[in-house]
Structure 1
Amino acid sequence: MEANSLIQKPKKQKLNEEQGIDGNRKCFGNLPEVLLRHILSFLPIKDAVKTSVLSKRWEFLWTSNPNLDFGEHLAGKRMLLMNFVERVLYLRDSSDIKEFVLDFDVQFDASRVQSWITAAVRCNVQILSIHIRDLRGQFSLPRCVFTCETLTSLVLAMPCILKIPPIICFSNLKVLSIKNVTFSDDYTTQQLFSGLQVLEVLYLMECRWGCLKVLKISAPKLHSLTITEANMGKRNEEYCEGLSDCDDHRDFEGCRITIFGANIKCFFYMGEFFNEYRFYNSFSLERAKIDVTQSSDSYCDKRRRQVAYRMLKVLRGLANVKDLRLYQFADGVLTYAPELLPTMPIFKNLKYLELEWGDINSKALLKILQNSPNLEKLKFSEIDECFDYDKDDILLDPMPPCFLSSLEDIEVGNYDGLETELAAVKILLKNAIALDEMVITFKEYNAGNFEMQEKLYKQLIDFPIGSQNCKIILKLAFLEHVLFRKAFNSCFF
């Protein structure tokens, strides 16, 4: 017999609920049941269910999991997934549900989905997210959803006409997000948006208001509102045909939406102003971002004027804003209705103004600057190339008061080295006599173009600068070269 055969190999230590790895420490299975259930709550529901095969003790621990996410991440055939949902809900105990997420292609199984939602509400659900696809026509949520006292967050994303019950009472709902929903009934829709007494955050994403002409959103505790309008695409031509020859743009198509919210602090809008928005008593607004998209080049003049009119309506409601960001065509659309510019509100509290496409030659932009007497920082994500640099001495006439007293920082992004951009920088440096700093950031593909950077440096040396204390910073791909006004004779490149 070989010697090796006489050597007994140590038995592998069995890991179970009774013994730890070294025989002294308690193993994972001996943790208190409350703690085990808490740990399982962080697992995806499919993985939590799999733990039932570990031992008798683990068999039903998952049944009290408070987080049930049945979404796209669950791999498998559709019917198997639906059966899995029903089995989980059937075997689950009666403990409360914290978060319930459904993300399914409904097809012909709307009644099953409704029963699942009802089961979640009966378990005092707090966060309910319903994402439904492949749905046409009308869809009714269980009535119990609209009277659920434990619900704090509700997300509805469904391309359908939503039927709303007449009785609505969201006593604890703080976050509401609605996407792709079409509202068709005046009374119930108004009931929904008038019964949000404790709502703090509201998202209206690509919703359609059907035949509704007037809507009031009343939420006394609302502090954040986000609205994105559906992209109409080719429907712009039909939309233009529906506009009358009347100069009163209020009679055009769309819904007039009035927002009552004395505590709103943040507002974000993106779309083409197919509807009209007005703020009432929005004295607390601090931050606003308006992103005016344009899906078609076939806009008629009446449509452009309509957008300008509705844009100005929104700006009037933002008179107390401190941080204003205008993206894409937001400032440009106002030029289509120059007669409206004298009615531009005074932004007495505005400290920060950001523009994605800044056209220094724009009368609308100049009017906004003139009506922002306390502006401290002005940022151009990119300066528009339509600047007429042969007439730069006329552009800031009359001079915006903030250029003389409060405007301390100007930032120009995506600098490309064009003459039009350089002229814009020149006019800004010349007229902003209170300026402390100007930051110019080159486009990424110009970061290594040292010839262009040196050319800009030499041009800046000869520019008349209104502020004697102005510091110019050129950002060159992870590097910063700081040029002080008194140091222009030295080259830092």
Structure 2
Amino acid sequence: MEGVDASSLIHNAKNQKLSKEHDVGEGENRIGNLTDTIAQHILSFLPTKDAAKTSILSKRWTYLWLSIPVLDFHDGANHYSDSDEPPYKRKHFMDIVERVLLLRDYSTITNFSLTCNVLNDSSRINTWISAVVKHKVQVLNIRLYKIREPFILPCCLFTCESLQELKLNIYYPLKLPSSVSFSSLKILTLTCIVFPDDHSAQMLFKVCSILEELHLISCSWENVKAVCISSPRIHKLHIEDKEPPPNYVTDEEDDDMDGENNSVDQNDDSDDESDNIDDQNNPVYQNDDIDDQHSSDDQSDDTDDQSDSGGGQFAVFGTSLKYFSYFGGFFLDCYIQDSSSILEADLMACYSDRTIDYRAFKLLRGLSNAKSLKLDQYAVKALNDELVAHLPVFNSLTHVHFDWVLLFYSRQVLLSMLQKFPCLSSLKFEGLSFMFRYFGTYDWTLDPVPGCFLTHLKTIEISMFCGSEIELHAVRILLKSATVLEKIVISFNPWELKDADGLKKQQEAHEQILSFPRASLNCLIAISCPPKEKKRLKFFL
């Protein structure tokens, strides 16, 4: 019996081995049976250097990767890297890019991404970009750092008819050729771009006739006085108006560039006057916004300060604009002329001072037709009582999200703003009191009660809740005042519940909230504790 069992085991082992060999063969056949199109599509999801490694699979695959529609080259460069990469690594990277483009057939490159240091290789990198344009690139992402010699993007890039999405991240003056035409461009993202003058900025935006999305991130507007965005199809505009990263241009080269820019400006003065914004007489380019509405001397002083504050004016005529977001220090004086189509708007300020307050007010006033609005603590703090009084009524607004609003210095403004939102049905607070635990009192009330609390407000959401006395008082007032409220959702800050004391505090707060009187007897109270998310602290780091 034992002999039979041993023989059976040997037989089974042989069958399993044959089966595995058969499976491997079938696997190889399955890969080999893939059409070139499918195989190249799969390879397009890999970094180009990894896709190149598949050339060892078989003779057929030796050149297959050279025709993939997506190319992605990254040498590890970034804005904040101080040291140069070793010369041998630099040479290896440059050789790989040139080999791929040199051996490329005539097939279209749908997506091309290049991230690298320029150093003294401007001409080589421009040759790569020109080659990609010839292959009718549709999505182009260029991130260039450490530019140590004069750099001008190739002219062919600015007349590329196939280009549908363009991302440029180059901290260097953008010099445009005499002819610029983006007939197919729908998405434009500019990061750290330095605009040398009004003419170049206005020309770039003017030629994007079918542009749908525009993202402006940490660009330099110091040399720009006024720009107008009026693309009839643009539906999404995102602006991060922050300080650009460190400049890697040397002082000597910077002086040379200044000289070049001055000579260009002298030659282009006449063009600037004729090609600048057609609507220079439009009120949007003059500081008349609330000057005639404010009678106090203090407000007149504010307006005078605003006019001398520097920073260009940025006007948006957004007849099709649906999504608008702004985050930054208001180095730009932004203004939206027509917001009738806006569905969502985010307004996040980095800090607050008199100039920023004025500009935040003016921008918020232009968003009065938005359906959904998100404001952070500085955007709320910017609106003192006098400015709030001049805000229009937001009749279309149904959802408001207040992000890290400090009730200590903004609660009165907050209450005044809620009076301007008569149709509000959803209200969210994220980080309701934050630093309030360390100072201040909490004996405030909703007086008078905002009209939306009596007629429209159905949902209140409070996240990053800590269970402090001020927060509990706020919840008590909200429940007491919202007569048609259907649901209030409270999410505890998981970082406050890291020990037994935190869990006990949560339980006590939970019990108190459930005992609060409610103006709406049908109101549901939901309390939860989401998992920790480190990324939530990103805003404060």
What TM-score, normalized to structure 1?
Answer: 0.82
SS at match of 1:161: coil
Match of 2:421 among 372, 396, 405: 372
String of CA shifts for 1:1-25, please: whole Å, max 9, x gaps. Answer: xxxxxxxx99x99xxxxx9955899
The answer to which structure has the higher helix fraction is 2
**Structure 2 match to 1:483:** none
**Structure 2 match to 1:474:** 527
Report the Cα distance in structure 1 between the residues aligned to 2:35 and 2:517, rounded to whole angstroms: 75
Structure 1 portions without partners, runs of 5+: 1-8, 14-18, 235-243, 479-493
1:342 aligns with 2:389: yes
1:45 aligns with 2:48: yes
Displacement of 1:187 in angstroms is 1.4
Report the Cα distance in structure 1 between the residues aligned to 2:134 and 2:34, rounded to whole angstroms: 30
Q: What is the count of residue pairs matched by the alignment?
A: 444
Match of 2:349 among 280, 289, 292: 292
Report the Cα distance in structure 2 between the residues aligned to 1:137 and 1:290, rounded to whole angstroms: 38
Displacement of 1:30 in angstroms is 4.7
Match of 2:475 among 418, 425, 429: 425
Name whichever of 417-426 and 446-455 sits farther off: 446-455
Displacement of 1:389 in angstroms is 2.1
Report the Cα distance in structure 2 between the residues aligned to 1:246 and 1:438, rounded to whole angstroms: 40
Report the Cα distance in structure 1 between the residues aligned to 2:192 and 2:245, rounded to whole angstroms: 16
- Counterpart code for 1:452: K
**Structure 1 match to 2:263:** none
SS at match of 2:393: coil
String of CA shifts for 1:73-113, please: whole Å, max 9, x gaps. Answer: 69970121001111111111122111111100111111111
**Structure 2 match to 1:168:** 180
Report the Cα distance in structure 2 between the residues aligned to 1:328 and 1:161, rounded to whole angstroms: 34
User: Quick check: 2:76–2:115 contact (8 Å CA) kept in 1?
Assistant: no
Q: Where in structure 2 are the equivalents of 1:23-172 lying within 5 Å?
A: 26=29, 28-72=31-75, 77-135=89-147, 139-172=151-184
**Structure 2 match to 1:247:** 303
Report the Cα distance in structure 1 between the residues aligned to 2:26 and 2:239, rounded to whole angstroms: 60
Aligned CA distance change for structure 1 residues 136 and 375 (closer, same or farther; 3 Å) = farther
- Counterpart code for 1:46: K
Report the Cα distance in structure 2 between the residues aligned to 1:381 and 1:291, rounded to whole angstroms: 13
- More RCO (CA 8 Å, sep 6+): 2
1:326 aligns with 2:375: yes
SS at match of 1:389: coil
**Structure 1 match to 2:462:** 412
User: Quick check: 2:217–2:240 contact (8 Å CA) kept in 1?
Assistant: yes
Aligned CA distance change for structure 1 residues 23 and 329 (closer, same or farther; 3 Å) = closer
Displacement of 1:269 in angstroms is 0.9
Aligned CA distance change for structure 1 residues 65 and 405 (closer, same or farther; 3 Å) = same
What TM-score, normalized to structure 2?
Answer: 0.75
SS at match of 1:70: strand
Report the Cα distance in structure 2 between the residues aligned to 1:51 and 1:476, rounded to whole angstroms: 47
Displacement of 1:43 in angstroms is 3.6
**Structure 2 match to 1:440:** 490
Q: Percent identity?
A: 40
**Structure 1 match to 2:315:** 258
Report the Cα distance in structure 2 between the residues aligned to 1:275 and 1:201, rounded to whole angstroms: 19
Match of 1:400 among 441, 450, 453: 450
User: Quick check: 2:140–2:167 contact (8 Å CA) kept in 1?
Assistant: yes
Aligned CA distance change for structure 1 residues 466 and 95 (closer, same or farther; 3 Å) = same
Aligned CA distance change for structure 1 residues 430 and 387 (closer, same or farther; 3 Å) = farther
Aligned CA distance change for structure 1 residues 403 and 24 (closer, same or farther; 3 Å) = closer
**Structure 1 match to 2:256:** none
Displacement of 1:145 in angstroms is 0.8
User: Quick check: 2:140–2:165 contact (8 Å CA) kept in 1?
Assistant: yes
Name whichever of 409-418 and 164-173 sits farther off: 409-418
User: Quick check: 2:339–2:370 contact (8 Å CA) kept in 1?
Assistant: no
- Counterpart code for 1:418: S
Report the Cα distance in structure 1 between the residues aligned to 2:200 and 2:36, rounded to whole angstroms: 46
Aligned CA distance change for structure 1 residues 465 and 109 (closer, same or farther; 3 Å) = same
Structure 2 portions without partners, runs of 5+: 1-13, 78-84, 247-299, 532-541
SS at match of 1:199: coil
Report the Cα distance in structure 2 between the residues aligned to 1:334 and 1:437, rounded to whole angstroms: 29
Displacement of 1:114 in angstroms is 0.6
- Counterpart code for 1:88: V
String of CA shifts for 1:369-398, please: whole Å, max 9, x gaps. Answer: 1111110111111222266323x24xx233
Report the Cα distance in structure 1 between the residues aligned to 2:202 and 2:458, rounded to whole angstroms: 46
Displacement of 1:454 in angstroms is 4.4
Report the Cα distance in structure 2 between the residues aligned to 1:69 and 1:79, rounded to whole angstroms: 17
**Structure 2 match to 1:237:** none
SS at match of 1:106: strand
Report the Cα distance in structure 2 between the residues aligned to 1:375 and 1:188, rounded to whole angstroms: 42
Report the Cα distance in structure 2 between the residues aligned to 1:457 and 1:127, rounded to whole angstroms: 51
